Amino acid sequence: MYFQGCAGAILVYDLTRIPTIQEIKAKWIEDFREHATTGASFILIGNKKDLGEIRNVSTEEGLALAKEIKAAAFLETSAKTGENVDSAFGNLVKQILTSIGQKI
């Protein structure tokens, strides 16, 4: 239901909680592919970058998953500090516009 008719999505996991990255692969990517519009774009985000001292998911693990699931992009963000948040949304918008043939 979350993805029905969408042209793009941001799949987010928590850098401090290993099960959240596992759920991207086990559940969320499958739901996205099943319900999103054909050709829809998605990016993968590792959030809570500001909590580096309790981080449990490495950048390399995030990059590997992004490659495996064929995400259009991968970023690490911090909703608390705002780091890379604008970049994430801007990146997704560019991916969507490109996929529908709009020049950027």
User: Rounded to the nearest 5 degrees, what angle is found at the Cα of 101, between the Cα atoms of 100 and 103?
Assistant: 125
Encode pLDDT of 42-91 as tens digits: 999 999 999 999 999 999 999 999 999 999 999 999 999 999 999 999 99
What is the pLDDT, as a whole number, of residue 102?
Answer: 76
Rounded-to-10 torsion of CA 62, 63, 68, 70 = 110
What is the pLDDT, as a whole number, of residue 1?
Answer: 64
Q: What are phi and psi of 48, to 5 degrees?
A: 80, 40
What is the pLDDT, as a whole number, of residue 62?
Answer: 98
User: Rounded to the nearest 5 degrees, what angle is found at the Cα of 85, between the Cα atoms of 67 and 101?
Assistant: 60
Give me the mean pLDDT over the 5-21 stretch. 94
Closest to 73 (Cα-Cα) out of 84, 81, 58, 83: 84
Q: Which residue has the higher pLDDT, 102 or 93?
A: 93
2, pLDDT greater than 90: no
User: Rounded to the nearest 5 degrees, what angle is found at the Cα of 33, between the Cα atoms of 37 and 27?
Assistant: 140
Structure tokens at 67: 């490659």
Superfamily of domain 8-99: P-loop containing nucleotide triphosphate hydrolases (3.40.50.300)
